[in-house]
Structure 1
Amino acid sequence: MKKKLLIYILVPLLLLVFTGAAFTGCSTLTDSADSVGGAFVNKLVARDYSGAFDYVYVLTADVGTRDEFVARFTNIYDALEVSDVKLVSRSVEPVSDNEYELKYTLALTSRLLGVLTYDYSADIVAGPQGYTVLYTPSLILPMLEEGDRVRSTTQEGARGEIFSADGAVLAKNDYADSVYIDLEKGPDIEEVKAFLTANFSVDAETIQKKYDNAVEKGYPLEVLLSYPKGTITDEQKEAVAGINGLGFDDSRFSPVRYYPLKDDAAHIIGYLGSPSDEQLAANEDLTEYSTVGKSGLEMQYEEVLRGSDGRIIYIEDEKGSLKQVLFEDEKTDGQNIELSIDSKTQERAYTLMASNLVDGQSGAVIVMDYSTGAVEAMVSYPSFDNNLFNFPLDEATWNYYNGDEDHPLINRAIQSAYMPGSSFKPFSSLPAIEGGLLDADSVPPITKKPPHSEGNEESGSHSWTPDIEGWHSGAIYSKTVAESPYNYEMAMKSSDNIFFAYYALQAGVDPFESYMEKIGIGEAPQFELPVTASSMLSQSEDEVDWLDWLARTGYGTGELVITPLQLACMYTAIENGGTMVNPHIVNRTFTIEGEDETETTVEETSVSAFKEGTMSQKAIDIIKPALKRVMVDGTGYEARLGDRDVLGKTGTAQVGANNSREVNWIIALNQEDGKLYMVVVETDTDEGTKPKTSILRGLADESAYSRMLSGVSSSGEEE
């Protein structure tokens, strides 16, 4: 018998009215101790705690009323997720004339802990109105004592972070720049509002509401303003410090996802936001207050990056010390991601795009290891600062991102399918080469009409009209044509449309179309981010003029469209014996654990093929010298890479109403560093050649990039 219970027996029950102790008075003297004990336990088994209260006498600090009694049982059992209570045994034994001991065993079925079998004991004593069970916290759980509390705490699993191949953090768990108010310093809210409205252009009413909320709830601190990290200037910080009660914080109060490269890598990394209704329905762990990936790798790798929260349920004594852990489900941090991106190359690529393009111009850059498919840089321009999406966007910013004709949220490297123009000629010539119709020395038996000649309707261009049955489309034009000898290398050097249209027509519609399917046209390569599939046709096959389609596809126009990433993937075949490697941007996923931050790789990306056997060695041996010539003294000469071991190709396609816009391409395979460099820009007609070659030169030649930053061209002249 516990000593504290003996005290209750010695206290004359008639004094209860003076002590304020609760006596429920449900039982009578005619009720036996056994019946009272049985009724009390039956109520517990039925989880009728209000009914059980009718049989107890309460004299404790933590429970004094029926509502408190019910709440204590309910809250603890709900925390343990008790779904069922069964009686195992029960007995009532006399201790003295008016005192009995109730012993019972209950089996609690908990979703968290399984079946818990506990032995309980309680004193039953006689009072003026009958027998009662003396309440103690141990009637809820045997290990509970007076003053103990059962606590349930969520342990939040951290979101995994994203790193570049060179170790730079690209997506980081951090804190926003925040201005807070310290109410314990007695700030003058009118002074605070006047200062913040004048210096931060915020609404005074919003500040007042946050202040009033903090006062009402007794918060010592309240964050009034939050901005992307690095937004608040040193001058603003000093000004904040000069106002009583205001402070600046960037390390404690406002958790946020921080993207150090901002615009430079926004399309790759993406951003976070509130879950959609579909996401909430699909994942019971999400709430409307959760944040999830909304674009880029943040969205595609949501399940990998997202940690799972844990929970600990424990008993805390009256001093706040941990007494006993009842349940612990450890949190799991999300996995980290290491990309193939080189942060310095990524920044360089974006800088080159931003410094060479003006309003109304757009495009994409890709730098890739052509042997492995590892993407070292991928830029889409114009871009956006993904840090802004951590906060409510003002109307002007939202309208710009969603309504601007330049569409800054689109990842042009993988979502925009462009007409490739002459950059497609190494591939459009494959059906004729592999069919034995075209080799390095082949000369097409045709006569071209020079510019301004009789019958040439387009001034400034050479023309040729196919003399084949079923041709109804008039002349084919080419601004430049091959010099003598009129062979493959010279045609590639000058990007002669007529030459490549001729050999596409020689190959024939069915063999040509079959070969396009063989090299992946109509599909998209495997990639960690969604890639728009390429396409040969935009209309019903019944509506196609197949000969016209064939000739135009031969020089990369017509209805053919392809994303920059897929065309880059296709070019890898030239250096890989005909195998197009799938591009990848994720090197591995990994965890970091322990005080020593041990890294453990979970999954690693391996090299894989998009298409194999796309070109024979014979074809490669024809194509490579021609692409080298392009860079030495052909259409790629302006990139100034001809003195290096570089293969390349340019391309131009007119698009838009009245051909007012132009898509300009340049691709280089640098055999010195094993990298593929690609630039595509969309501009008004005749405005894209200089930007694309300047960007490529800066990408492939570090010294040229340094000169560009200082305003000096690669030839030593002022830009």
Structure 2
Amino acid sequence: MYSRVQRKKKKINPYYFLLFFILAGIGGVIWFQIMDKKGHSEVQEVANTFIQVLEYKEYEKLGNVLEKQSYTSLDYTLEEVIDKYDRIFNGIKISNIHASKIEMEKVKNLGYELSYQLSFTTPLGKVENLNYKTKIDETDGKYLVKWDPSLIFPGMEGKDKVALHYKEAERGEIKDLFGNGLAVNEDFKWVGVVPLELGQGNEKDKNLQRISQQFEIPIEEINQKLNQNWVKDNLFVPLKIIESNKAEIMPGAAYQNIKLRYYPLKEAAAHLIGYIGKATKDDLDKNPNLSEGDMIGKAGLEKAFDKELRGNDGGEILIVDEQGNKKHEFQKVEKMDGDDILLTIDSYIQREAFKHLKGIAGSTVVMNPKEGGFMP
């Protein structure tokens, strides 16, 4: 007789299954949050690095943050992207770059969207709050910025370039009581040569000799300027500034117009009128509105009334296509020529007084014989 041992099956409480799924769900949420937080942190770091590259012009670091496919698909190499930033931002001397309103938004299944504003200063003045937008996607386990030319200036695309057309304000003139010039803008000429037009051999030597004698420029100085590294056969090489009426047509000689400050009374009014010169580093430090190469008053009335005389330069920054055709205007500032200053002195009397003093220290008083008053 066989005995049957019956085993009693244990029933699993269904609440255990419920608890398991709850714990698994919580764990999944926690894991997802950890991974999402890690991803967000990496995206934030890439965004911060990209913004820092822009603000500090560290374009050589762009390779660390840009997605390769985004620029190669537009027919750019990394070197070309770096060079494009350098040519534009350093080429036209953009400074004081500042980013603001930096925001990141996660886009479902599409990575992150980065938006920000840039403000900076160009040679024409301030540009404020330009809006930029791009994406940061994960590529091969690394978050990178998707690049296109609109991240340089909004509106740029393809092989677009940036062109700066600068319009220098004309300095105001200083005039006497009757409107005669005491400090004026006079037309002069650069005399120079274009190497290709000098000829060869003996012909070249003869032409250089004539230019040397006509304009009193040592032949050694001419040859020294012709041997500069930048000189090419078809480029104008300036030699000396001359008065416009002294320009003569002669083989090998070429001319370019230039406007310079001219003082008709020369020494007779130099102590009063003063002179202008290039802004020094100290001048630039004291006046943020000045730029390197600006001509400013250095002494006398030229210095006292420099702000009124100098005016404000203008120009325009354009976005142009690969052929140089204008697409649209990025920044435009109208130039404002300087104001003329009218004095109460009579230039004729000033010249005569200087002539009669003949270099002797002193002063002159001139009286109007008809009215009895003193002449200015």
Q: Report the TM range for the smaller structure's normalisation.
A: 0.5 to 0.7
| Corresponding position: 1:108 with 2:121 | no
8 A Cα contact 1:49 1:73, kept in partner: no
- The 3 A distance-change label for structure 1 pair 226 and 219 is same
Contact 2:161/2:322 (8 A) holds in 1: yes
The aligned counterpart of 1:27 is none
Aligned to 2:51: 45
Which of 254, 265, 273 aligns to 1:247? It is: 254
Measured against aligned partners, the alpha-carbon deviations of 1:285-317 in whole angstroms (never above 9, x if no partner) come to: 456744333443223322321233346433222
334, 338, 342: which one aligns with 2:342: 338
Q: Equivalent residue of 1:213, what SS? A: coil
Which residue among 163, 175, 197 is the counterpart of 1:151?
163
In the other structure, the counterpart of 1:201 is 216
Separation of aligned partners in 2, 1:296 and 1:229: 28
CA distance in 2: counterparts of 1:144 and 1:184, whole angstroms: 39
Q: Does 1:350 align with 2:351?
A: yes
- Partners of 1:125 and 1:134 within 8 A in 2: no
| Cα distance in 2, alignment partners of residues 77 and 221 from structure 1 | 28
Deviation at residue 136 of structure 1 after TM alignment: 2.5
The residue that corresponds to 1:309 in the other structure is 313
Change (3 A) 1:217 1:134: farther
Change over 3 Å in CA distance of 1:113–1:131 after alignment to 2: closer
Q: CA deviation at 1:92?
A: 4.4
Whichever residue aligns with residue 253 of structure 2, its letter is L
Amino acid at match of 2:118: L
Q: Does 1:59 align with 2:72?
A: yes
Q: Pick one of 63, 84, 89 that aligns with 1:72.
A: 84
Per the TM alignment, residue 180 of structure 1 is displaced from its structure 2 partner at its CA by 2.0
Q: How far 1:269 moved relative to its partner?
A: 2.9
Partners of 2:281 and 2:120 lie apart in 1 by: 31
Give the deviation of 1:60 after TM superposition: 6.2
CA 1:190–1:350 in structure 2 vs 1: closer, same or farther (change >3 Å)? Answer: same
Question: Aligned to 1:269, which of 265, 273, 281?
Answer: 273
CA distance in 2, matches of 1:669, 1:168: 20
Structure 1 residues 138 and 215: alpha-carbon distance in aligned structure 2, compared to 1, 3 A threshold:
closer
Distance 1:266 1:289, change over 3 A: same
User: What's the C-alpha RMSD, in Å, of the aligned pairs?
Assistant: 4.1
Q: Is the 8 A contact 1:73 1:140 kept in 2?
A: yes
Give 1:622-661 correspondences, 5 Å limit.
none
Give the drift of 1:257.
Answer: 0.8
Select 2:331's aligned residue among 324, 327, 331.
Answer: 327
Deviation at 1:146, TM superposition (A): 0.8
> Do the aligned residues in 2 keep the contact of 1:214 with 1:220 (CA within 8 Å)?
no
Deviations 1:245-276 (A, max 9, x none): 21345xx2x33112334455444433333456
Query: Deviation per CA, 1:342-371, whole angstroms, max 9, x where unpaired?
Result: 45x44xx635864xx5xxxxx2xxxxxxxx
1:120 aligned residue (130, 134, 138) = 134
- 1:178 corresponds to which residue? 190
Query: AA paired with 1:223?
Result: P
> Is the partner of 2:374 in helix, strand or coil?
strand
- Counterpart of 1:247 in structure 2: which amino acid? A
In the aligned structure 2, how far is the partner of 1:353 from the partner of 1:46?
62
Q: Is residue 167 from structure 1 mapped to residue 187 from structure 2 by the alignment?
A: no
User: In 2, distance between residues paired with 1:109 and 1:288?
Assistant: 22
* Bigger Rg, structure 1 or 2: 1
Q: Secondary structure at the match of 2:329?
A: strand
Structure 1: which 5+ runs fail to align?
1-33, 95-99, 358-362, 364-380, 383-405, 407-411, 417-562, 569-666, 679-719
Question: Per the alignment, in what secondary structure is the counterpart of residue 63 of structure 2?
Answer: helix
Tell me: CA distance 1:42–1:269, structure 2 relative to 1, closer, same or farther (3 Å): closer
Q: Given the superposition, is the C-alpha separation of residues 131 and 195 from structure 1 closer, same or farther in structure 2, using an over 3 Å criterion? A: same
| C-alpha distance in 1 between matches for 2:132 and 2:87 | 18
Q: Distance in 1 between matches of 2:290 and 2:145?
A: 44
Would the aligned equivalents of 2:184 and 2:261 in 1 still touch at CA under 8 Å?
yes
**Aligned sequence identity (%):** 25
**What does residue 87 of structure 1 align with?**
102
Distance 2:312 2:276 in 1: 17
Partners of 2:98 and 2:327 in 1: CA distance: 25
User: For 1:185-213, what per-residue CA distance to the aligned partner results, in whole angstroms no more than 9, with x for missing partners?
Assistant: 35455334322333333222221222233
Distance 1:317 1:301 in 2: 43
Change in Cα spacing, 1:153 to 1:81, as seen in structure 2 (3 Å) is farther
> How big is the shift at 1:337?
0.7
TM-score (norm 2): 0.67
Structure 2 residue aligned with 1:213, among 228, 234, 254? 228
Distance 2:291 2:221 in 1: 25
Instruction: Label 1:90 to 1:184 Cα distance change in 2 as closer, same or farther (>3 A).
Output: farther
Three-state SS of the structure 1 residue aligned to 2:212 is helix
Note the 1:672-711 alignment, pairs <5 A.
Answer: 672-676=370-374
Question: Within 5 Å, which residues of 2 pair with 1:524-539?
Answer: none
Give the TM-score normalised by structure 1. 0.38
* Partner Cα distance (2:306, 2:52) in 1: 44
C-alpha offsets along residues 583-624 of structure 1, whole Å, 9 cap, x if unaligned?
Answer: xxxxxxxxxxxxxxxxxxxxxxxxxxxxxxxxxxxxxxxxxx
CA distance in 2, matches of 1:353, 1:131: 78
Rounded Cα–Cα distance in structure 2 between residues aligned with 1:350 and 1:130: 79
- d(CA) in 2 for partners of 1:300, 1:185: 46
CA deviation vs aligned residue, 1:369-400 (integer Å, no higher than 9, x gap): xxxxxxxxxxxx44xxxxxxxxxxxxxxxxxx
Equivalence map 1:395-544=2 (5 Å): 412=361, 416=362
Letter in 1 for 2:175: F
TM-superposition CA deviations, 1:27-49 (whole Å, max 9, x none) = xxxxxxx88x9476454234352
- 1 CA distance for matches of 2:112 and 2:106? 6
Q: Aligned residues, how many? A: 320
Structure 1 SS opposite 2:228: helix
Q: Which residue of 2 aligns with 1:544?
A: none
Q: Residues 135 and 275 from structure 1, CA distance in 2 versus in 1: closer, same or farther, beyond 3 angstroms?
A: closer
Cα contact 2:149–2:156 (8 A) shared by 1: yes
* Alpha-carbon distance in 2 for matches of 1:277, 1:82: 22
Could you say if the C-alpha distance between residues 45 and 264 of structure 1 is closer, same or farther in structure 2, counting changes exceeding 3 Å?
closer
- Contact 1:159–1:335 at 8 Å: present in 2 too? yes
Shift of 1:156: 2.2
Once residues 207 and 229 of structure 2 are traced to their aligned partners in structure 1, the CA distance between those partners, rounded to angstroms, is 15
**Post-superposition shift, 1:89?**
2.8
Q: Which residue of 1 aligns with 2:10?
A: none
